[in-house]
């Protein structure tokens, strides 16, 4: 089954994707993670992506679509995949339709007033990628799961978050309509539910297809 996760920055796409991937064995592909890995390794793609990510803008479509096309062609995607952060505009969605078929789009609705605090307070483990909020860390600087160092993403600052939200509203939100018209959308809400409760809702839907 091929799944697209849609939602504003900080709505919980990555958190849900990890849980879905673990339960159903689908490959989790996050374009944001791919870009951050490239930045860390100093690749050509990383050098290009960095300026866009730091400004809260989208990395150019041609580059992003080609990365996803090549990734989906790998053997581990044959049984299905979970795309987190792609597509992000109708051009990317059209391109995706050209090289794959989306079976389900999970749209996480959220009150945007929550997002600035969620993102600016987020700390992520450098080693395992687990994320936390400063409000619940009690000053801890290492990951409870693996002991790795916690860091703040460069794009989790008020100015860049504001830009990411504006880009979402202008370019990504229209995809709700796009996938509604295709009849493949499932809506859920991440506003009040803790991640595990939201996952129970998502899993109840996925069990219809994947059990």
Q: Which residue is nearest to ligand AP5 (CB)?
A: 32
Say whether the peptide bond before residue 114 is cis (omega within 30 degrees of 0). Answer: no
**CA distances (Å), origin 26, targets 2, 4, 76, 77:** 9, 12, 9, 8
Range list of β-strands (E), 102-163: 104-109, 122-125, 131-133, 150-151
Number of residues that bind ligand AP5 (CB under 6 A): 35
Minimum CB distance to ligand AP5 smaller for 82 or for 88: 88
Part of the chain binding ligand AP5 (CB under 6 A), chosen from 37-45, 137-145, 173-181, 193-201: 193-201
Decide if residue 185 touches ligand AP5 (CB under 6 A): no
Part of the chain binding ligand AP5 (CB under 6 A), chosen from 20-28, 40-48, 140-148, 186-194: 186-194
**CA distances (Å), origin 138, targets 77, 141, 156:** 40, 9, 20
End-to-end CA distance of the chain, in Å? 12
**Which chain residues interact with ligand AP5 by CB under 6 A?**
7, 9-15, 30-32, 35, 52-53, 56-59, 64, 85-86, 88, 92, 118-119, 122, 131, 133, 155, 164, 190, 193-195, 198
């Amino acid at each position: 089954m091929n799944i697209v996760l849609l939602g504003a920055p900080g709505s919980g796409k990555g958190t849900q994707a990890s849980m879905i991937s673990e339960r159903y064995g689908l490959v989790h592909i996050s374009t944001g993670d791919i870009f951050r890995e490239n930045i860390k390794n100093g690749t050509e793609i990383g050098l290009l992506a960095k300026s866009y990510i730091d400004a809260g803008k989208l990395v150019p479509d041609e580059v992003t679509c080609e990365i996803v096309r090549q990734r989906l062609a790998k053997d581990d995607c044959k049984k299905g995949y979970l795309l987190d952060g792609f597509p992000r505009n109708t051009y990317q969605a059209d391109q995706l339709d050209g090289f794959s078929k989306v079976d389900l789009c999970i749209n996480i609705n959220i009150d945007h007033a929550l997002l600035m605090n969620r993102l600016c307070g987020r700390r992520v483990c450098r080693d395992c990628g687990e994320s936390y909020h400063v409000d619940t860390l009690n000053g801890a600087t290492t990951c409870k799961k693996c002991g790795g160092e916690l860091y703040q993403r460069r794009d989790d600052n008020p100015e860049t978050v504001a830009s990411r939200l504006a880009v979402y509203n202008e370019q990504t939100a229209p995809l709700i309509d796009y996938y509604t018209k295709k009849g493949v959308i499932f809506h859920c809400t991440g506003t009040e539910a803790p991640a595990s409760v939201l996952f129970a809702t998502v899993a109840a839907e996925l069990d219809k297809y994947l059990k």
